[in-house]
Structure 1
Amino acid sequence: MSTTWLITGTSSGLGREMTRQLLAEGHRVAATLRRPEALDDLRAEYGDRLWVAALDVTDTLAVRDVVDRAFADLGTIDVVVNNAGYGVFASVEEASDDQIERVLRTNVIGSMQVVRAALPHLRAQASGRILQVSSAGGQATYPNFGYYHASKWAIEGFSQTVAAEIAPFGIGLTIVEPGATQTGFSTGLQTAPVMPEYDAGPAGDTRRAIERGDFAIAGDAVKVAREIIRSTSVTPAPLRLVLGRDSYDDVLRQLRARVEQIEPQREVAYSTMLDSAAPCAAQ
């Protein structure tokens, strides 16, 4: 059965690959990107099944206009994919104010506004799926990615809340957490002048390890895109979709470490309750 998708950030990487696969399978795609000409080849091949609009998700008014037009022109949209993203590779002091603001405006505010713009339409049709592309970095952390992590941890908290709020409307939401995938995203990471104070520590160690090629980018973009698409056939919608061996291993290891850190604090945590408060049930 043919479905209709709205995908942001489709000029390259997973956004473009999902668009290509969906069109090849006979679906319709409303694709947004900052440079519409980047999809001229797909538009020439697939014609009216590819709806294209210029969009910078940091422009909230433009987000609302484009999303409204996509629903008006295409009618029912089955899946909305928040894929547009921006990355900064720098230690906490090295990044510029502009870089910090842009990563948060793109990955957090932009994603939030796409969801807010789409929800009235999805509620009206009483169906739909939202896919929020996050990262292994939405659960795990690595030196030099602090601002990227801040954006992904923020959008995961937002998305998990939204998933609960919209479930009664028949709308599902899945947070997608790919590992290091060959999409070209790493080559587009913004960097900053290196400070010697950080170069001697974990931030510098991570930078040098990447320069040496110690961190393999082994995720297959075609396979990752295929699994993201397949996830929409799963009911109810999985809250999270972890993709990549590195993502699975790193996320699981860091989640287990967090549990190990918290569990010994139970007695202290309970001791801070009001004396008149009812006792908490044992976990």
Structure 2
Amino acid sequence: MKEKTWFITGISSGFGRHMAEQLLERGDRVAGTVRDMNSVDDLKKKYADRLWLARLDVTDIQSVYEVVDLAFKQLDKIDVIVSNAGYGLIGAAEELTIDQITHQVSTNLLGSIHLIRATLPHLRSQGEGRIIQISSSGGQSAYPGGSLYHATKWGIEGFCDAVGQEVAPFNIGLTIVEPGGARTNFRHHGTKLGPKIEAYAISPAHKVRGGFEDSSSISIGDPEKMVKIMIDSVDQQPAPKRLALGSDAYYTIHQSLSDRLSELELQKELAFSTDFSVNG
């Protein structure tokens, strides 16, 4: 197996951490970004010769471009870009603060957009590359209490759908990963809650919120298995457009798409009736 070099944002925890560990263990090089350089001391000690590190907060747009440029300059070629950094924000839309909304969009959506944009000139120049965007089953479905999180995930999926078509002629593949719940620290430590408005006690948004407040709940997905599939996907030609991972992701996305298609079919006659007619 030919050694690859991977650039991954957010390797201190969650999928990013699992991916970095699997790749380093099998002999690949990893260029990883973290907000706290001390959070990966164990990886630095064990894999110092194959682990390139940079401090990065993806909400700092200028730094995103600087870190990407530096990584390509020092590592020469990077085969795979993994846009992983992100977090959840839970609360009814009215409950969330302006600062929470701004930071969620700046991290999950704008941070991912600028990361991908920053890498494209380099990938085009080297004549090939693969991009993996970590989204969520919540990028195809929506639940109450997740409005801003869904806004960022639906947004990045639309962006990636278009960009994937734009860069295909340059031998650059782009895959959107849509995991369901996984046994990482995302649910209880990678998610922030908005302030409560008691009027929303009757809203399903608070029922969803309760699931995140309950520290005893356990997700069904195995992050090690999910990450292995993500890694293996880079050898598929052409690149898979999407990867739904987890039985919960499959059922949630399937139901959402089925409902949307059924609603669309019911509107077919209405949609066609608005076309311009030369006969009036």
TM-score (norm 2): 0.96
Distance in 2 of aligned mates of 1:211 and 1:88: 12
Q: Residue 83 of structure 1: CA displacement?
A: 0.1
Distance in 1 of aligned mates of 2:60 and 2:187: 24
Distance in 2 of aligned mates of 1:110 and 1:224: 23
Q: Which runs of 5+ in 2 are unaligned?
A: none
**Does 1:238 find its partner at 2:232?**
no
Distance in 2 of aligned mates of 1:273 and 1:216: 50
**Does 1:14 find its partner at 2:48?**
no
CA 1:19/1:214 → structure 2, altered by over 3 Å: closer, same or farther? closer
Q: 2:84·2:134 contact (CA, 8 Å) conserved in 1?
A: yes
Q: Which runs of 5+ in 1 are unaligned?
A: 278-283
Distance in 1 of aligned mates of 2:59 and 2:135: 17
Distance in 2 of aligned mates of 1:216 and 1:46: 31
CA 1:194/1:236 → structure 2, altered by over 3 Å: closer, same or farther? same
Distance in 2 of aligned mates of 1:209 and 1:133: 22
**Does 1:145 find its partner at 2:150?**
no
Q: Which aligned pairs between 1:122-201 and structure 2 lie closer than 5 A?
A: 122-188=123-189, 189-201=191-203
Distance in 2 of aligned mates of 1:85 and 1:238: 22
Distance in 2 of aligned mates of 1:210 and 1:118: 34
Q: Residue 205 of structure 1: CA displacement?
A: 2.3
Q: Which aligned pairs between 1:202-281 and structure 2 lie closer than 5 A?
A: 202-211=204-213, 216-276=218-278
Runs ≥4 residues deviating over 3 A: 208-216
User: How large is the Cα RMSD of the aligned pairs?
Assistant: 1.4
Q: 1:86·1:102 contact (CA, 8 Å) conserved in 2?
A: no
What is the number of residues matched between the two proteins? 277
Distance in 2 of aligned mates of 1:113 and 1:130: 13
Distance in 2 of aligned mates of 1:214 and 1:66: 38
Q: Which amino acid aligns with 2:202?
A: A
Distance in 2 of aligned mates of 1:36 and 1:212: 30
